[in-house]
Structure 1
Amino acid sequence: MSRHLAPLAFKFWLMLALVTGMGSVQAATVVHMATGVVNSAAVLSDGTLWTWGDNQYGQLGNGSTVSADRPVQIGSGFAKVAVGGSYMVGLKTDGSLWMWGAVQLRNKILNEARPVQVGSGFAQLMTSDTASKADGAVWYWGHMKRLIKASVGGDDMLDRLPPGYLQMLNNRYNVLFVLGDGAIQFLFVPWDPSAMIGMGSWMSGYGSAGPVDRGFVQVALGSYSAAGVKEDGTLWQWSGLDAPVLVGGGYRQVAKGSGHTLALKADGTAWAWGSSNYWGELGNATRTESASPQFLGSGYAQVAASAEHSLALTTDGTLLAWGRNNYGQLGVGPVGQDQPSPLPVVFEGAGTPGLGTMVATGTLTRLTLSAHVQIKPEHLASGAKGHPYLVAITPDGTMFTYSAPVFDRLNPANPLAWADRLQNTSSLLFVNQDMSHLSGTAFFIGYGLGATTAESLGEMLNSYRYKRVYDIQ
């Protein structure tokens, strides 16, 4: 490819790489994921934490209240993540527990747009409301404080459940506990009694019939039903005042949305069913409901469901998402485009932590933007010329590029220009400019190795040595 590559051909190639997923194969893969009603999050194999979806309460942890329809990296050193209604919680590899967004703690309301440490010495993050320490004690937080009137103890931040309580799940009116012997205990607490009017007999506590036996190792709680997997691999489901019904055997995990259920078998096959598939929650490329489990595919390691959407993690570390996307909770693109079939979630720039940075200050109407591309010393020492590169792509697909030494007010890329001034030093791109007309524009930085710009561009794309660094909101 020459320096004077035709603009249309260049745009097609580069946008194919940056936007539609050519760079979706990364050294860093997903090892854990979680989702809530309008948010999702994932931890990658390099320990980085990524979040996306609604951000009304700062629950994305990126220091703002601006939502994101694609994953945004917010931290490192994490092992697990869980998503609550207006907050998220993460467990780091050193045992420290972190929270962000808006959540009720023991003696305060946490209201932070970036992760804040709230505890230490934790061994397992269980749900968005519970985590356990090495001694087996389960600690909780959130609106559970209103449901459980008396705590057996706690510290400045968190409360502790009584001994023998291994798991706890809750929604607005119901709480399910898994006890030490695998028995389930049900608690119905209508903390908003006025909401009970006209709700029907299920308000006496769906699941109040409850599994009468023991041996449950994992449970899931939906809006109108509950399910549990026993240690023998059998999956049971119940709702209202109905007795539990056996779904089948060979299972190891179950997850519930508002009206749909996902389940994972020990052989890695995933299954979906439910009374709701209007948004494509079942992931079977239809809008048809199903009362019995439908086969989704093989090679799965984890499933998650919430409200009207679903996530699934494959054994090769690929994260898939489908269902409703009204807040960008799928992480696969524009808000409002629901997806009835699984789509891969792309973590742009994953595995390239030292590639460089972009820093923005000011408001949308008086934005100052600077950037630099960090070329590794071993690449500079190799003798191959490192060509830094910066590109911006607007929501309608129009592409712009930086032409040293100035950004020249985002003039269209014609011809291709390399941003040599960005190499290993910060350069001011523009100062106090009104960028409101470019709201939603995404900036990418990267560099390639080669004697010519053509060789460098190809090498950069083939090596996935680029990342998304900033979005004009």
Structure 2
Amino acid sequence: MRSIASRHMAPVAFKFWLTLALVAGMSSVHAAQVVHMATSYTNSAAVLSDGTLWTWGDNESGQLGNGSTVSADRPVQIGSSFAQIAVGRPYMVGLKTDGTLWMWGSVQLRNQTLNETRPVQVGSGFAHLMNSDTARKTDGSIWYWGHAKRLFDASAGGDTLDRLPPGYLQMVNDTAKNVLFVLGDGAIQSLHVHLNPSDMYPGWKGGYGSAGPVDRGFVQVALGSRSAAGVKEDGTLWQWKDSEVPVLVDGGYRQVAKGAVHTLALKADGTAWAWGDNVWGQLGNATLTGSETPQSLGAGYSQVAAAGGHSLALTTDGTLLAWGNNNAGQLGVGPVGQKQLSPQPVVFAGADAPGLGAMVATGTLTRLTLSAHVQIKPEHLASGAKGNPYLVAITPDGTMYTYTVPAFDRLNPANPLAWADRLQNTSSLLFVNQDMTHLSGTAFFIGYGLGATTAESLGEMLNSYRYKRVYDIQ
């Protein structure tokens, strides 16, 4: 437990203490565990045990859902009350605990193309989000969107989504070209969409369902750019290329994931395995050496995911690990472009401090607009306790700035923090279309404390973890 700052603390010591408290606290605040995660080529996302949704990676189409097109190499919180998340290209899909389905980014719906930088509800009555292209309703019907709209003339639909024909249980897209289906009896069927304009209809490339018992009983499939894999209800794992007959890998599996040219698989005993190409370190073996056979990543895993040249895995204690290619920040461990050859933990800074407000960024680094507000809980306002909101910026060299309407000022140790009263439950513009290149790497924190003096309220904020890191200038 941090001690509350003394009003008699020496000015320089106060500044040093505050910097350490904020920065050190970033890694200790995320007691909330990851319960579900997903990834695609340039983006990743996770749902925490408190229902908050966090996204990171490329944001050119607004697929992070944070109201901007500014990318993030570390997780940013965008919503709450979520149960599942799926990541498409370039969009995301979230299922909330009340059965509503939400989407953001750029995605083709039934009669429109959705282009949104914040989550928009597109349906209700859903029970399970199967992947980034399909979801199952409580009545058992399967609904689809996105690239899959090229594959069917929908026989039934709603206002925004289309319904898969009877007999189709799951659909997996790698790109707009290749699709896998799981049929009602666990058979699998693959489809290749021709890109030649003269080809009016997609062409089927093998219906494994008619090949015999080896090709039935699949409960989950994954598709890469050169191969596919599937787990059957008996726990056997099979893989194949194009229209080849599936070949048995081994038994005891419960999930498989495919990157472009590598595979991750999870066994029922909690061990994770990886094989394939390793040019980006996506096998997680601390080398760039590939393997044609499964290599162990150890035990204690509950979920795996892969895309492109990177991998994610969730441990049984709720820790999310990421490794491999990080060209768009999709690992969530920063910095962009630095590949990771072994699993690295993803930190959700401020995950136990929801509802504290937000910072919204729009534009590019050279023309950046920032606004922020600090949300003080109604019970704290109603109790008559003074709520002192703070907005603090820390540059890479440790220099601290605090917000005093209407500008940021370097922290004055003699007068440590001025109240940013205009940030209390209302948004204030901080910068408008400014070149922020010189502040690249600066981290912003918001929060509020309760107390009669500066030192008391600031110390109470830190002791109660009532603050969070809301934005990093990239």
Distance 1:53 1:419, change over 3 A: same
Aligned pair 1:411/2:410, yes or no?
A: yes
Q: CA RMSD in A?
A: 3.4
Aligned pair 1:39/2:46, yes or no?
A: no
Aligned pair 1:287/2:291, yes or no?
A: no
Q: Shift in Å at residue 243 of structure 1?
A: 3.2
Unaligned 5+ runs, structure 2: none
Q: Which amino acid counterpart does residue 215 of structure 1 have in structure 2?
A: G
Aligned pair 1:25/2:30, yes or no?
A: yes
Q: Which amino acid counterpart does residue 272 of structure 1 have in structure 2?
A: A
Q: Which residues in structure 2 correspond to 1:365-404 (within 5 Å)?
A: 369=371, 371-372=373-374, 374=376, 377=379, 389-394=390-395, 396-402=396-402
1:135 is matched with 139
- TM-score, normalised with respect to structure 1: 0.85
Q: Which amino acid counterpart does residue 354 of structure 2 have in structure 1?
A: P
User: Does the CA-based 8 Å contact 1:95-1:121 persist in structure 2?
Assistant: yes
Query: Which segment drifts farther, 223-232 or 425-434?
Result: 425-434
- TM-score, normalised with respect to structure 2: 0.85
Q: Shift in Å at residue 88 of structure 1?
A: 0.9
The match for 1:246 among 248, 254, 257 is 248
Distance 1:31 1:37 in 2: 21
Distance 1:433 1:189, change over 3 A: closer
Q: Shift in Å at residue 61 of structure 1?
A: 1.3
1:314 is matched with 315
Distance 2:419 2:393 in 1: 16
Q: Shift in Å at residue 162 of structure 1?
A: 1.5
Distance 1:411 1:16 in 2: 17
Query: 3-state SS of the aligned residue for 1:402?
Result: strand
Residue by residue, what CA displacement relative to the aligned partner does 1:211-266 show, whole Å, maximum 9, x if unpaired?
A: 84311111111110111111111111111454322211111000000111111111
Distance 2:112 2:368 in 1: 36
Unaligned 5+ runs, structure 1: 196-202
Q: Which amino acid counterpart does residue 132 of structure 2 have in structure 1?
A: S
Q: Which amino acid counterpart does residue 40 of structure 1 have in structure 2?
A: S
Query: 3-state SS of the aligned residue for 1:267?
Result: coil
Q: Which amino acid counterpart does residue 315 of structure 1 have in structure 2?
A: T
2:159 is matched with 156
Q: Taking every aligned residue pair, what percent have the same amino acid on both sides?
A: 65
Distance 1:204 1:438, change over 3 A: same
User: Does the CA-based 8 Å contact 1:443-1:468 persist in structure 2?
Assistant: yes
Higher RCO (C-alpha under 8 Å, 6+ residues apart): 2
The match for 1:259 among 258, 261, 270 is 261
2:279 is matched with 278
User: Does the CA-based 8 Å contact 2:42-2:329 persist in structure 1?
Assistant: yes
Aligned pair 1:187/2:186, yes or no?
A: no
1:144 is matched with 148
2:117 is matched with 113
Distance 2:303 2:292 in 1: 22
User: Does the CA-based 8 Å contact 1:367-1:435 persist in structure 2?
Assistant: no
Q: Shift in Å at residue 376 of structure 1?
A: 7.3
- How many residue pairs end up in the alignment? 458
1:200 is matched with none
Q: Which amino acid counterpart does residue 56 of structure 1 have in structure 2?
A: E
Distance 1:426 1:54 in 2: 29
Distance 1:259 1:11, change over 3 A: farther
Distance 1:366 1:31 in 2: 34
Query: 3-state SS of the aligned residue for 1:346?
Result: coil
Distance 2:207 2:457 in 1: 61
Distance 1:33 1:186, change over 3 A: same
Distance 1:309 1:358, change over 3 A: closer
User: Does the CA-based 8 Å contact 1:3-1:453 persist in structure 2?
Assistant: no
Distance 1:360 1:174 in 2: 36
Q: Which residues in structure 2 correspond to 1:323-402 (within 5 Å)?
A: 323-358=324-359, 369=371, 371-372=373-374, 374=376, 377=379, 389-394=390-395, 396-402=396-402
